Structure 1
């Protein structure tokens, strides 16, 4: 086979160019220490490196979200811990004020300090982060969570919605603590009353406290269903307690109705989850015998009951019909009241009408959450979770009504402090019965302060658990990120020694091919002339 001079030239030139290209590429690898400069260098490796880079970018976002969770937790925990400290001081002032040795001036000084503590606590509840966002307002962080109303009460203006952040594959954490979670779920222990029904004028011989709920479960299961109760004084003398059906339930009192009629000291007893205090203020003659005491206390009765719950209904402006709810109230039967206390959403509700009836949801309505109550028909009378509604007109499918509730089962600490301040401002010097009533109200308020601290401790624990989960996930994310970097470098990082050796070899090959090319270029007739 004959090979032309041109073919020899072209082959030599092509070989030289290939060797030169390899030499240049290896030179770039040595200088950059990167063996994957273009996708063509290693298509499979390039695809994997891109995938790892994308995952690491997501891990960086997770790291940012974890930082937000940690910062929010640190800020809210600092505020809540400071509030717990302030509430502890408030409790000390309340206990001190209940001391019979204090005067009105002493209690007024304590009241003034409580005013300062209340202002400090409200400021902490309305804490802001470095960007001016309110920490406890929920998802609506632009407005302060707490305001003082014109009537002197304090109310929560935020929402119950958390702010969810993804901190890992499949792991989403709430990044905030809402005021609803931290302050609005504190159990209200002062939601019962003892009202003198006979005689018409209180002569001070008996002082019966309003009571303090010490066991919410017993209160809901037993006390609510039997109210109102009648407490009277009978032979012995001793107390007789009857429920709303006239049944004798005295045995449910921890003292079985017994008390010391000869002592004016506070005598405590528990009735169906409610702690009550009794003071007997008889004269020396009346205390001289059981008969005299019985005569002094006969025809004296009290009504024991819970603070009545209240609800209101507001028509949604987006409703298509003109139907309205003209009346909203808690049912009056024991069954309805027990159902209301146990089932009606404490944070308010949304009453929605369907094509065949109505559904009651906890507010705010979230996708997937079932209704707490359902029913058929459109009125005019409908019942839901122990509440009664009177409907005027015919609601259409999709119509909604916002239901605000006041179950008195919870009470925020600002309003509790207002009650305490008001009580301490009452003058009781030289008024033994007034002092007994003050001491009873302060003792009951201590329960609310304690439940407020417990709720804060629960909120701190919950936020701490979220922070721990975020930190643990951050450790996992860092490990994944490190592994990704290591794997990526197997495709991209060059072995300096191997590359330098290869560069030397390719340089020698390039020089050899260059000599071959030069010799081949002389193989023509003109070079022989």
Structure 2
């Protein structure tokens, strides 16, 4: 085969350029310290590097989420510690208010300090994180979670969720706790109520308190299912408890001491205070005649209602009394209702939440100063105007918010009791109940703090694991991408030698001619 001069030159030039490119590539690898500049340099290595870079970006995101969660939880823990101190002070005030030497004025002073604690707690419950988000709003962290309603009760506008962050490839972790779970979902120890249904001819001499749950399990398993019950004083020293549906069978019996102003009757997990007042000192009037025949009906506490909303007028709703249990159970929306006034006396009722497309479930005209819907009677204060709208939400007595507990205690302390044995009896029961509910609230806060501690430990563990994975990722990337200087230097010398040899060979070959053979 004949090889022309132009082919020879083209072939040598291509080889020379290839050798020179190899040298340039090796020099670039040495100067930059990186051997993979494009996928063509190492297709398999480039693909693996892309995976590692994606993993590194995820690890960076996990680290940021871990830092965010840790900061939020540390702030939440600090707020809860402060609130525990406030609740402890409120408990001390409740205990001190039971001092028999306190006057009505002294108790007013205690109530004033309790009001200050309420405001401090409200402010703490509406704390924000570094990004301006509410700590205790649940997943609705951009809206203020706790507000005080016009009727003095407190409302929760957040939800029951939490802000979950992805902190590893297989774990999401809550960076906050909802105000509902911490402050609203607190076991209420006042889940029963009593009513006098019969008294001796001489008049009422005994009073039964609403009851305080002492054993939640017994209450849930036994009391609720059989209610209502009746407590009857069979003499001045004995009582019996029977089912209202079956009076013939005594479910419990016991003794009382008429010399004591207050006796305790425990039944199926509930402690009822029995107050005895106004007994005649006439020796001719027996104690049996004055006490025997008292009957008290024991039932579970019915739902209460909170009202919220702002109006152009001064109209307000209050009360919230269940007048038809069956209608309330079957018709009243679980989420509550919204009452919209179309005039000073006419109104429409909507189910919450209300939207532009919502249609009224009912409409009516005020009966005096009250309105009734689905077995619930509400009192209307002020003069409504067209467009006024108020929301009414049911509140189960199974739980009671911390702020409502302190609000109820403050109201009880402001009720005068001097010289009124019946009022003093109610105050003592309110104080006892408040202490137990504050204890429940503190236990709830402590449980949340324990959960925060567990999550912080998890964050510390994940942070170490994340850092370890990040270091391993970087080392692997370095092995794949970085230049091996010893290998590259040797390779460069070899490439330079090969290029010099090719140049010398080309120079010799290019000078050959047919005439040299003649």
In the alignment, what sits opposite 2:268? 272
Q: 1:293 aligns with which of 287, 290, 309?
A: 287
Tell me what 2:233 maps to.
233
What is the number of equivalent residue pairs in this alignment? Answer: 454
Matched, 1:166 2:162: no
CA distance 1:517–1:328, change in 2 (3 Å): farther
Secondary structure of the residue aligned to 1:269 is strand
Between the aligned partners of 2:415 and 2:470, the Cα distance in structure 1 is 66
Using the TM superposition, give the Cα deviation of residue 460 of structure 1 relative to its aligned residue in structure 2, in angstroms. 2.8
- CA–CA distance in structure 1, aligned partners of residues 484 and 332 of structure 2: 67
Give, in whole Å, the separation in 2 of the partners of 1:110 and 1:310. Answer: 26
Asked whether 1:503 is paired with 2:492, we answer yes
Secondary structure at 2:288 match in 1: helix
Provide, for residues 377-408 of structure 1, a one-character-per-residue CA deviation record: whole Å limited to 9, x for no partner: xxxxxxxxxxx989xxxxxxxxxxx9954321
Q: Report the more deviating stretch, 50-59 or 497-506.
A: 497-506
Q: Is the Cα contact below 8 Å between 2:207 and 2:274 reproduced in 1?
A: yes
User: Relative to structure 1, is the Cα distance of residues 454 and 347 closer, same or farther in structure 2, using a 3 angstrom cutoff?
Assistant: farther
Please identify, of 511-520 and 24-33, the stretch whose mean Cα deviation from structure 2 is larger. 511-520
1:283–1:200 Cα change, 3 Å = closer
Offset, 1:283: 5.1
Q: 1:524 offset after TM fit, Å?
A: 4.0
**Partner in structure 2 of residue 308 of structure 1:** 302
- From the superposition, tell whether residues 348 and 271 of structure 1 become closer, same or farther in structure 2 (CA, over 3 Å): farther
Is the 8 Å Cα contact of residues 207 and 437 (structure 1) preserved in structure 2?
no
Distance 2:82 2:7 in 1: 91
Give the aligned partner of residue 258 of structure 2. 261
> Are 2:421 and 1:425 equivalent residues in the alignment?
no
1:408 is matched with 397
Distance in 2 separating the partners of 1:471 and 1:349: 43
Spell out, residue by residue over 1:88-131, the C-alpha distance to the aligned partner (whole angstroms, 9 max, x if none).
Answer: 11011001111213222322221111010000000111111223
Cα pair 2:200 2:293 within 8 Å, conserved? no
Shift in Å, 1:4? 5.1
The equivalent residue for 1:155 is 155
Q: Secondary structure of the equivalent of 2:173?
A: strand
Q: Which runs of 5+ in 2 are unaligned?
A: 307-321, 338-351, 354-372, 376-390
Moved more, 240-249 or 486-495: 240-249
Structure 1 residue 488 corresponds to structure 2 residue 468: no
- Larger CA deviation: 23-32 vs 237-246: 237-246
Asked if the contact 1:122–1:146 (Cα under 8 Å) also holds between the matched residues in 2, the reply is yes
Q: Is the 8 A contact 1:5 1:524 kept in 2?
A: no
> Quick one: distance in 1 between partners of 2:231 and 2:87?
35
- 2:316 aligns to what? none
Match for 2:424 among 435, 444, 447?
435
CA distance in 1, matches of 2:203, 2:492: 111
Structure 1 stretches lacking a partner, 5+ long: 313-326, 351-362, 365-387, 391-401
What residue in structure 1 maps to residue 13 of structure 2?
13
Q: Report the Cα distance in structure 1 between the residues aligned to 2:83 and 2:247, rounded to whole angstroms.
A: 45
Partner of 2:454: 465
* Pair 1:83-2:83 in alignment: yes
2:324 and 2:220 map into 1 onto residues whose CA distance is: 19
Write the distance in 2 (CA, Å) between the matches of 1:503 and 1:52.
29
- 1:172-183 superposed matches below 5 A: 172-183=172-183
Q: Secondary structure at the match of 2:504?
A: helix
Look up the SS of the partner of 2:446 in the other structure: helix
In 2: Cα distance, 1:101 partner to 1:34 partner: 86
Instruction: Report the equivalent of 2:28.
Output: 28
Aligned to 1:102: 102
Deviation at 1:526, TM superposition (A): 9.7
Q: 1:115-264 alignment to 2 at 5 Å? A: 115-199=115-199, 205-235=205-235, 237-247=237-247, 251-252=251-252, 256-264=253-261
Contact persistence 2:191–2:300 (CA under 8 A): yes
TM-score (norm 2): 0.78
Task: Determine if contact 2:236/2:292 at 8 Å carries over to the other structure.
Answer: no
Q: Distance in 2 between matches of 1:403 and 1:105?
A: 35
Corresponding residue for residue 354 of structure 1: none
2:240–2:251 CA contact under 8 A, matched in 1: no
Q: Structure 2 vs 1, CA of residues 105 and 222 (structure 1 numbering), >3 Å: closer, same or farther?
A: same
Partners of 2:146 and 2:200 lie apart in 1 by: 41
Give the root-mean-square deviation of aligned CA atoms: 3.6
Report the alpha carbon displacement of residue 31 of structure 1 after superposing the two structures with TM: 0.4
